[in-house]
Amino acid sequence: MTIPGPLPELDMPSTVIVLDDPLFERKMVKVSVVIHKKGPIALRGNKWHKLKYNLVETRRQGEERLLTFGGAFSNHIAAVAQAAALHGFKSTGIIRGEVTNPLNKTLREAMENGMKIIYESRDNYRLKNTPEYLENLRKEQGSFYMIPEGGSNLFALKGCREWIEEVNISYDYICCACGTGATLAGLITGMPPGCEATGISVLKGAEFINAEISSLLDQVGCTLRQWKIIHDYHSGGYAKSNQELENFIYDFIEKHKIQVEPVYTGKMFYGLNDLISKDYYRPGSHILAFHTGGLQYLE
């Protein structure tokens, strides 16, 4: 058995970039982007921060294998495979649905990073959080440290708190894309007093994430209530897009030379832009937008 060593700190400092835009000038707001310019592509953005303390916990428990769940294009699956490879863990990914042939980039690279891929039918996948399912998995696959789908647990909050605490300039609002909402919850726990948070939900009909975020914040004893999830910018649903979003993304990349994708960060900037145009933010304020990554599946 290999003796787990200390967890190396990845060298992934964030950079803050101020966006130049006639709209922001007209509305008298300043928008800055917090972004990783270096580090493994699958770990840039929120995923490294969500995983970091899960890896620390895995070491603490003496487990050698990380096991997690996700769809075939999941940024989280890519991140777990990458993080495991870099830190000497074995990894298993339980993938929802059938084998895609040929393998897509996400799964191909996950396997190159040594991840064992197991396809699970949609019906079985739904059972993934039941004790029976996990017990069975342990019988078949041996011992592992389980990271929930999307990596959204209290260790994720701790890592995302660290992310916002890295930023040492002053700001009035933060904004980020929300899937499960755990990243935003972690950022909220590290916001300075008086700051307000906006989460742009990328899912359709996902009002449940409000309760999810409240519950996560309760669990870490955070009583801040200055946050709001906006549900108007999903463009039809998760991973759905439309011409307006596509056009926005094309222009955004042209204008700011910052890569974004249509599933998360593109929707976040699209929503942020629209909110600013509708005077959602106080004139004179500074908005910090977190670039959560998601670029791993772009060729």
Q: Output 92 or 152, the one with its CB closest to ligand PLP.
A: 152
The burial of 130, by beta-carbon neighbours within 10 Å (0-12 exposed, 13-18 middle, 19 or more buried), is given as exposed
CB of 5 to ligand PLP, least distance (A): 28
Q: Using the rule CB under 6 A, which residue among 106, 235, 265, 273 binds ligand PLP?
A: 265
- The position carrying tokens 């649905």 is 97
Looking only at residues 38 through 67 of this chain, which bind ligand PLP when binding is defined by CB under 6 A?
45-46
294 interacts with ligand PLP by CB under 6 A:
yes
CB of 126 to ligand PLP, least distance (A): 19
Please report, in angstroms and rounded to a whole number, the separation of the first and last CA atoms in the chain: 37
Q: Output 171 or 262, the one with its CB closest to ligand PLP.
A: 262
Residue 133 contacts residue 108 (beta carbons within 8 Å): no
Residue 12 contacts residue 34 (beta carbons within 8 Å): no
Contact letters for ligand PLP, residues 129-168 (x by CB under 6 A) = ---------------------x-x----------------
Beta bridge partners of 93: 68, 117
Closest residue to ligand PLP in the complex (CB): 294
The footprint of ligand PLP on this chain (CB under 6 A) covers a number of residues equal to 18
CB of 13 to ligand PLP, least distance (A): 19
- Residue whose C-alpha is closest to residue 272's, from 251, 288, 285: 288
70 interacts with ligand PLP by CB under 6 A:
no
Both tokens assigned to 217:
């914040």
Looking only at residues 167 through 196 of this chain, which bind ligand PLP when binding is defined by CB under 6 A?
177-183
Peptide bond into 8 cis (omega under 30): no
Q: Output 27 or 70, the one with its CB closest to ligand PLP.
A: 70
Q: What share of the chain is helix, strand, coil (3-state, %, to 5)?
A: 40, 20, 40
Q: Give the whole-angstrom CA distance, residue 174 versus residue 9.
A: 25
Q: Output 79 or 85, the one with its CB closest to ligand PLP.
A: 79
Provide the binding-site residues for ligand PLP, judged by CB under 6 A: 45-46, 75-76, 150, 152, 177-183, 264-265, 292-294
